[in-house]
Amino acid sequence: MNSRRDLLKAMALLPLAACTRELNQLNGGESQSGPQSPLGWMPPGEELNLQKVKIKKVRAITTAPYGIGLVIVKVETDVPGLYGVGCATFTQRVKPVVAAINEYLDEFCRDKDASRIEDIWQTAYVSSYWRNGPVLNNALSGLDQALWDIKGKLAGMPVYQLLGGKVRFAVDTYSHASGPTPEKVMEHVERLREMGFRNIRMQMGGYGSTHLVTDPPYKRHGFGKEKDHTMSAQAYKNGVVDMFKLARKRYGDDIELLHDMHERVEPMDAIDLIKRLEEYRPFFIEDPFSPENMGWFPMLREQCAVPIAMGELLNNPHEWVDPMAKRWYDFIRIHISQIGGITPAMKVARLGEWFNVRTAWHGPGDTSPVGHAANAHIDLAVWNFGIQECKLFREEAFEVFPGTPTVENGYMFVNEAPGLGIDIDEEKAAKYPLRDYNYEWTQVRKPDGTPVRP
Ligand code: GCO
Ligand code: MG
């Protein structure tokens, strides 16, 4: 094979798996025996001008293979079979994101040169004049991730290679254990340890342990809704301390323990709880404060040395640039589609390097498998990677999204194929239509009925 172009011509005749392996070996990718998704894009026999590939269509695809509403962007190009996929999932507001993609970004991107990711990102970002909101950022993210997918396919290498190559063999992750009591949480912790997880986030009941409050006064007075959740800061804090105490007693230091406060208590209660947890050496405590209460961080930092993670609710650079530069937290937890995709997320990661803020991208169920792939490609390529939240996907997700990253012994592996290594099977996706969004989990009150940030 004396030139890439000869190889590409030859590959047109090879079954996909073989060509992906060929291409990977040529580009230093590791060919894994793992699943290789059908990413064939080579138009048989045609000379492909790798320089100028035009965007032909930008469209949103919605699906809910595991119940949570997901939004995927597909960017189709003028090269037959060459397209990219990206995650635009804002599950609480799917419809406006779909409209932003189909009604605005599609027309905006028509006939643009797909290789110009930064230019398209910057011009799309300001095309609405008002910017940095969750709806438009998610739409932009889907487009952005899909353009990186296309660039990887054109280059014949996984996106992590375009981002600088691997700094580690795989992505270390944490998984979620929960239960109504500390003992029940430990049972779940044990199951995850048996699966090889070394880092485990523990939650007693849902966020804020609202199951501990059964008959709040406001409901007795007919205030709020019957299904509203109720927070008791004291009951919650005591439960979390008991949970950590039991975990350390049972596992000693042979486990990393994480917890998400999910901005549920008053700032001083948050500081109090974190100080009480210090002796149990948490790996990190997440979202002690809401983004509206960022100003409380200096007080927390002065009082204890517990690592802090923050950021899933952030949309605007003002919310992370200064706090990272002031070292107010140790892990940045951004939901990368909420800020506009891989392009801005790489800038956040690079910024963190100078202030030793490590990445811990948001990665629960309302990050689609495509979003998990995007997270993982960045995680493999940035020096200041901290940890990755992982979702244990059920088979429906792999069915709809061939090439979904896999997890072994708590390590996440991307599919070593060109681009993001993941695809969406639209026929299968259509089998899982969106369900109505359930607002209830966000409806949280204090015993007197005062609404609480969820
Ligand atoms: C996490 C998050 C999620 C969010 C959810 C909102 O740390 O994983 O806090 O559980 O609550 O993504 O839709
Ligand atoms: Mg969280």
Side-chain half-sphere exposure of 350, counting CA atoms within 13 A: 8
> Atom 6 of ligand 1 has which residue's CA nearest to it?
366
CA distance 383 to 325: 17
* Structure confidence at residue 175 (pLDDT): 98
* Structure confidence at residue 34 (pLDDT): 43
CA distance 27 to 21: 10
Instruction: Report which ligand 1 atom has the smallest distance to the Cα of 364.
Output: 8
The residues with which 86 forms a beta bridge, in sequence order, are 73
* Structure confidence at residue 431 (pLDDT): 98
CA distance 115 to 53: 7
The 10 Å CB-count burial string (b at 16+, else e) for 275-288 is ebbeebebbbbbbb
* Structure confidence at residue 29 (pLDDT): 46
* Structure confidence at residue 436 (pLDDT): 84
Name the active-site residue from 83, 160, 174, 207: 207
* Structure confidence at residue 84 (pLDDT): 98
CA distance 157 to 177: 36
Q: H helices within 111-169, ranges in order?
A: 117-126, 134-155, 159-162
Query: Distance between alpha carbon 63 and the CA centroid of its chain, in Å?
Result: 17
What three-state secondary structure class fits 419? strand
What is the Å distance from ligand 1's center to 364 Cα?
Answer: 6
DSSP letter for 385, please.
B
What is the Å distance from ligand 2's center to 299 Cα?
Answer: 21
* Structure confidence at residue 432 (pLDDT): 98
Mutate to test the pocket of ligand 1, among 178, 262, 338, 387 (most ligand atoms within 8 A of CB): 262
What three-state secondary structure class fits 52? coil
> Atom 10 of ligand 1 has which residue's CA nearest to it?
364
Residue 86 near residue 72 (C-beta atoms within 8 A): yes
DSSP string, 319-335: GTHHHHHTT--SEE---
Amino acid at 122: Q
Q: Which numbered ligand comes closest to the C-alpha of 335?
A: 1
Query: Distance between alpha carbon 17 and the CA centroid of its chain, in Å?
Result: 28
* Structure confidence at residue 32 (pLDDT): 44
What three-state secondary structure class fits 408? strand
> Atom 2 of ligand 1 has which residue's CA nearest to it?
364
* Structure confidence at residue 6 (pLDDT): 57
Cβ partners under 8 Å of residue 153, min gap 6 = 39, 41, 82, 84, 418, 419
Instruction: Report which ligand 1 atom has the smallest distance to the Cα of 262.
Output: 9
What is the Å distance from ligand 2's center to 388 Cα?
Answer: 12
Instruction: Report which ligand 1 atom has the smallest distance to the Cα of 286.
Output: 7
What is the Å distance from ligand 1's center to 410 Cα?
Answer: 19
What is the Å distance from ligand 2's center to 311 Cα?
Answer: 8
The per-residue pLDDT string of the chain (454 residues; one tens digit each, 9 = 90 and over) reads: 455 555 555 555 444 445 444 444 544 444 444 444 444 444 455 554 555 799 999 999 999 999 999 999 999 999 999 999 999 999 999 999 999 999 999 999 999 999 999 999 999 999 999 999 999 999 999 999 999 999 999 999 999 999 999 999 999 999 999 999 999 999 999 999 999 999 999 999 999 999 999 999 999 999 999 999 999 999 999 999 999 999 999 999 999 999 999 999 999 999 999 999 999 999 999 999 999 999 999 999 999 999 999 999 999 999 999 999 999 999 999 999 999 999 999 999 999 999 999 999 999 999 999 999 999 999 999 999 999 999 999 999 999 999 999 999 999 999 999 999 999 999 999 999 998 888 888 999 999 999 999 8
pTM (2 d.p.): 0.90
Name the active-site residue from 176, 229, 262, 372: 262
Helix axis angle, 233-251 to 182-194, nearest 10°: 40
Query: Distance between alpha carbon 207 and the CA centroid of its chain, in Å?
Result: 19
DSSP letter for 103, please.
I
* Structure confidence at residue 438 (pLDDT): 84
> Atom 8 of ligand 1 has which residue's CA nearest to it?
364
CA distance 47 to 154: 13
* Structure confidence at residue 23 (pLDDT): 47
Mutate to test the pocket of ligand 1, among 287, 312, 389, 442 (most ligand atoms within 8 A of CB): 312
Mutate to test the pocket of ligand 1, among 263, 286, 362, 439 (most ligand atoms within 8 A of CB): 362
> Atom 9 of ligand 1 has which residue's CA nearest to it?
262
What is the Å distance from ligand 1's center to 285 Cα?
Answer: 14
15 to each of 41, 152, 422, how far by Cα in Å?
11, 19, 18
Pocket of ligand 1 (CB under 6 A): 91, 260, 262, 312, 362, 364, 366, 389
276 to each of 1, 282, 384, 430, how far by Cα in Å?
64, 11, 28, 48
Give the residue among 454, 449, 453, 62 at the shortest CA–CA distance from 224.
Answer: 449
* Structure confidence at residue 37 (pLDDT): 45
**262 a catalytic residue:** yes
Q: What are phi and psi of 411, to 5 degrees?
A: -105, 135
